[in-house]
A = this chain, B = another copy of it.
């Protein structure tokens, strides 16, 4: 079908391999801001059309959906990505869920409990701003996760994502990859700009102080949970314009491959048109 022409160029280039790309690099697609902005614009139009088709498929009884999982160090741009990429499509078809440190009530459940409650419905694009991967990252870096428990969680997560794939949800996992230098700039800007203070959390420094441990934990996650049905992509994120373009393209290629099918009308079009003329409206 014509719609499939988005191909898999960006997904192929950004799929996590042995080595992550440089956070300031532009390994595929536009290398300059003006071109990236223009391309994001046109990607937005196609994304919007495909999203409407996916939504229509859901209305028609289809079961497919997409789940975008966003992970990355603090200030890597998860919120900005939601705004600039998901902001391109109809909010009716988007389900956003942000996962902060679990509450005491959430801690009494299995860590996937709160995740399952936020899965996209048929026809929707779900977005996770942080996710179940935090349940490996944080306790691991804090030294609270035994190797055995870690293995168990990898197994559970792979099984969970397989279950999602079986249920018709295409999972797209994106690591927004920033450099520690860029994070320093962004944290500084949050502290120096009063309107940005609310985005700053003293805990961010604690996480920053464990930077190498987090990178190691991510590398292990990529190795253990990059599956055919739920691959990881690493998006260089020091340039916001590149990050937005790249995530939009990953979504676009994914939706184009799904090639959503508009439902067949469950009614006789000509008969309805004839009836329509007959249904007068008197005041």
Report if A209 contacts B (CB, 8 A): yes
How far, in Å, is A225 (CB) from chain B's closest CB? 23
Contact indicator B92/A82 (Cβ below 8 Å)? yes
Q: In the complex, which residues of chain B have a beta carbon less than 8 angstroms from the beta carbon of A180?
A: 281
Number of copies: 2
Q: Known interface pairs A198-B263, A209-B279, A279-B208. Does A272 touch B60 (Cβ–Cβ under 8 Å)?
A: no
Asked whether, in the complex, the Cβ of A267 is within 8 Å of the Cβ of B127, the reply is no
Which B-chain residue is minimally distant from A197 (CB atoms)?
A: B265
Give the nearest-CB partner of A83 in chain B. B90
For chain A, give the interface size range: 35 or more
Per-residue CB contact flags for chain A residues 170-199 toward chain B (1 = under 8 Å, else 0) read 000000000010001001100110110111
Residue A31 CB within 8 A of the other chain: no
Write the chain B residue with the least CB distance to A282.
B212
Known: A82-B90, A82-B92. A273 touches B191 (CB 8 A): yes
Instruction: Decide: A283 and B82 in contact? CB cutoff 8 A.
Output: no
Instruction: Give the residue of B82, B83, B129, B205 whose beta carbon is less than 8 angstroms from that of A272.
Output: B205
Residue of B nearest to A201 (CB): B267
Q: Which of A79, A96, A188, A283 has its CB near the most chain B CB atoms (within 10 A)?
A: A96
B263 touches A129 (CB 8 A): no
Q: Which chain B positions have C-beta within 8 A of A83?
A: 90-92
Interface residues of A in 230-275 (CB under 8 A from B): 262-263, 265, 267, 269, 272-273, 275
A87 at the interface (CB under 8 A from B): yes
Residue numbers in B under 8 Å from A228 (CB-CB): none
Ordered by A's residue number, 24 sampled pairs between the chains whose C-beta atoms are within 8 Å are: A56-B199, A59-B198, A60-B198, A79-B90, A82-B92, A83-B92, A86-B91, A87-B91, A91-B91, A91-B94, A91-B127, A92-B129, A184-B276, A187-B276, A188-B273, A188-B276, A191-B276, A192-B273, A198-B262, A198-B265, A200-B267, A202-B267, A211-B281, A212-B282
